[in-house]
Amino acid sequence: MSENPSVNRSLKDKTMDHIDHALGRPIFPLRESYRNYFATDANGPQARAFTASPNWKKTGQRDDMAFFSVTDLGRHALVDHLKTIENPWKAFVVSFDGYTKIVPAQSRSAAKYSWWLEISDCWNDLRFIDFAKHARVRAV
């Protein structure tokens, strides 16, 4: 079961969007995610802004590229921002045929359908109606 799946979102606040992007747009920003880096022009305005911000830590530089990671303060800032904008994405646990997966979605039915779409690629005779009858969904 994936512990921190990604969400397909874009945030209007570009400061928060950069943090979200660097973390891989996780459903749970405070948990470890599959990535935590952002590369930018070492001499550009973005690198200067990241260096001055407590939300970022410079992790390296090679040639004209600077690399940054999000700090714990940045993760908390993202969580606060997502609460402020009433982020519609939630995490659901979907169980089917002995397997369980955390699925990010905007509703229980969307979570169920999303996982069916994923598994129906390799289980092509599984109809959604049969999946829906036996799948169980609960909020995380």
Q: What is the mean pLDDT of residues 84-92?
A: 89
Per-residue pLDDT, 1: 42
Q: Is the pLDDT of residue 14 over 90?
A: yes
Strand order, beta sheet including 38-41: 38-41, 65-70, 56-62
pLDDT recorded at residue 140: 87
Res 2: pLDDT: 52
- For residue 110, report the phi and psi dihedrals to the nearest 5 degrees: -65, -35
User: CA end-to-end span of the chain, whole Å?
Assistant: 13
| pTM summary value | 0.81
Query: CA 86: distance to chain centroid?
Result: 16
pLDDT band at 86 (very low <50, low <70, confident <90, very high): confident
Percentage of the chain modeled with pLDDT above 90: 90
Amino acid identity of residue 116, one-letter, is W
